[in-house]
A and B are shown apart, each in its own frame.
Chain A
C-alpha cells in the first residue's frame, strides 16, 4: 500500500554527549523541524536523551537485500582479526584473554 501520509524521516537518538547517535525508528512529518518536534515525543519521552537527528528517508541510499551475498566471506579472512595472529610470548601475558578464546 502506498503511504499517503507526510514524508518519512528516520530518527537517530543520542543518550549522552559523546555517545553515538543510534537509529531508533521513523516519523511522518511535513518538514525537518516538525520531524524533530514529533520525534522527541515518540522516541525520547521515556529514555534519556540529549540530542536527536532526523534524516529524510529518501536521502538514504541502501544496499539491496538481493545483493546480500556481497557481505559473505569467500575465503579465510582471519588475518583481519586480532585473534588471527600468533603473539610472541613476551607480549602474550597482556593478551592472554584473547589467546585463550581463540
Chain B
C-alpha cells in the first residue's frame, strides 16, 4: 500500500476524507478538553483539580496539533477552525458535548470511556499510511496513556467504594455508554479512508473498544447497559444544544475581533 509521506502527497480525492477524519479527531479533543477545563477550581481535591486541568490542556494541545495538520492540507488555520465555526460545522461526537452537571462520577466515567477510545484509535493510527498522522499518533501516545490510567483508576475506585458511589457510577455508565458508542459513528469517508490505509474501519475500532472497556467495568462492579443504541449525529454536525452553548462561551472573546493579534 502507498504511504503518503507529506501532506502534499495526498491525492485530491483523498484529501477531503482525511480532513474529515482530522476534524473528528480534533473536535473531539477540543470539546472534551473544554468540558474538562470547566472543572478547574471545582475539582474534588486540590491535587486532582490541578491534574485534571493539566489533562484538559493536553487535550486542547492535541486538538491544535490535528488542526495544524488540517491547515497543512489546505484548510483554515487552527484558531479559525476552533473559533469561527458554528455547531453545524463541528464534527465531535455528542459524548464530549454533554454538560458536566457537576457530576464527578459521570465525568470520570466519560473520561474513561473516551480515553479508551482514544487509545484504541491512536494505536491504529500509528500505522496510518498518512505518515504525518502516524507520527502525530506516536507523539500523543504517552499523554493519552496517562489520561487512561487516570480515568481507569477513578472508575475502579468509585466502583469499589461505597454503595452510593457505585450507584452513581452505574447511573453515569447507563447515561454515557450509548453516547460513547457514538464515537464510532460510521461516516461517508470511512470506505475511502480504509481502502487507502489511512485508518481502520470504525466498526473494528468499536469492537476493540468494547472488549477493552468491558473487563475494567466488570472490575468496578458495573453492568454494561444491554442493547444500548449508539447516539449518532455528531459526525455530520447534529449536536445536543449544549454544544451551541459551549461554543458561544468559548468563542465570544475571539469573535469580538477575529483579526486581533494575541
Contacts and interface: CB of A to CB of B under 8 A. Distances in A.
A5 B45 contact: yes
Nearest to B53: A41
B45 A41 contact: no
Q: How extensive is the interface on chain B, given as a class?
A: 10 to 19
Nearest to A40: B146
Interface string A41-65: 1100100000000000000000000
Contact of B45 (A6, A31, A33): A6
- Secondary structure of the B contact surface, majority rule: helix
B51 A42 contact: yes
A27 B45 CA distance: 10
A41 B153 contact: no
B54 A37 contact: no
A42 B101 CA distance: 26
B45 A28 contact: yes
A30 interface: yes
Contacts of B45: 5-6, 28
Contacts of B48: 38
Interface of A: 5-6, 27-31, 33-34, 37-38, 40-42, 45
17 contacts: A5-B45, A27-B47, A29-B47, A31-B157, A37-B146, A37-B149, A37-B150, A37-B153, A38-B47, A38-B48, A40-B51, A40-B146, A41-B47, A41-B51, A41-B55, A42-B47, A42-B50
